[in-house]
Structure 1
Amino acid sequence: MLSSIFGDFNLDALFVVTNAPGRSAYNRVERRMAPSSHELAGLIWPYEHYGSHLDSYGKTVDKDLEKKNFEYAGTTLASVWKSLKVDSYDVDAEYIAPKEDDSDDAQILINDWYCKHVRESQYLLQILKCSFKDCCGQTRSSLRSLLPNGFLPPSIKLQQTQNGLKVSQVNSEDGKYLNLFARLGGGGLKKLILA
């Protein structure tokens, strides 16, 4: 869906950011999902509504029946979510069947595009135009004057030690995150961190 928004609006870049661990109370998406999670708590429906599509080892033996069962689950989920209101707005949900394109060539093209245009981590999704006009067309912003390769560099948390700067442990309270311009500094910083 985000890639279609990216293409439909001819964006140069799309950044989707979430809050880090311990800050989920400030995460708008998680707060919006709370009502839907509440409605799903305790809801159980069989994965084989129309019959079992699995063998005794749990492997799919009937793909058509599997798709039919999956559609039933998706339709049921949509009907539960349709009954909700989020921030006083009605929720519109519907099951949309997956497209029937099993072409290996199509999948290779999708994977190739994804590798060139998307960077994804737990807290940040980046989609952006490449520099080839034949692929993505003309860029409309000056994003690459600030970010030469277009993508935001990863967040790095450093702490000062007696031996200089070092990368903080993931759950450590020590250290500070570098600002964007320090992270764009590149080469010298990499040598310092790797030492």
Structure 2
Amino acid sequence: MATLSGKLAGITLPIDHFGLHLNTQGKVIVPELALRNFRYAGETLCDIWRRDLIFGKKVDAQYVEELSNPFENLEFEGTDKEKAEEQKQQKRKQEKGDDSPECFVPWSWIENHCNLCQYSLDIKHCTNTSCCGPPRAKEAMDFLFLNNGFLPPVTKAKDGHFTNAIHLLEYFDLMKIPGYDFHCPSLDQTAYSRLCYSACNKYFPTLTYLMNHKKTLHPVSRGRPKGKSREQNSRVLDDFSLLPSQQKQPLFDETYLRDCMSDKE
């Protein structure tokens, strides 16, 4: 997906090709029309993807119309307040006669298990055995624990190539690598800063997600904290982003060589 971000910059996918299916609040009011519009946008996106080569190989992208919900009948742990909100939503759906299967995912569960980006969704096992089962690959889970259980951000190196996520965890200082989605050319510095919550500098792909994060984990804070927010790292990695143990060391001590040289040298 990272290679497509540059090609998608400036492209607006049509959402109302067959007619408007949203009301003024952005809610779907004509589900059948929404599905037709979504299919048209998906086919348009597939047409763009088919033009993109991966290592010189052609890409076959097809729109798959899947109406079944893989998350149907799943139950997620949440707070009492979130459970009450789920019951309210179910009641409103019953009053409207809406019988479409939709799974309610509490935001507290998303905070503990998901990392949200523009073009990716990273889901991890938590350590609570009553919530998640035992991991299938414990070694990989322990390794990803270096980055809170998630893969590091997609990062471009100074020479223009995208780095290996495993190599980032092994050799680079995680405090110096760019943030999630910071490589996307469609996000400038100002827009990216607005999507990072200033109290913890955590990034979210939309302002709605950011506000949910604020209400859940920072309910006491009001507005932005005083002072400047932490400066963002560079968009690319260089040798200064390496861990001290991985940086190139001089073959000889510079001070020692200077003491051994004569004045004429």
TM (norm. structure 1) is 0.43
Structure number, greater radius of gyration? 2
Scaled by the length of structure 2, the TM-score of the pair is: 0.34
The answer to which structure has the higher strand fraction is 1
State the structure with bigger RCO (CA 8 A, min sep 6), 1 or 2. 1
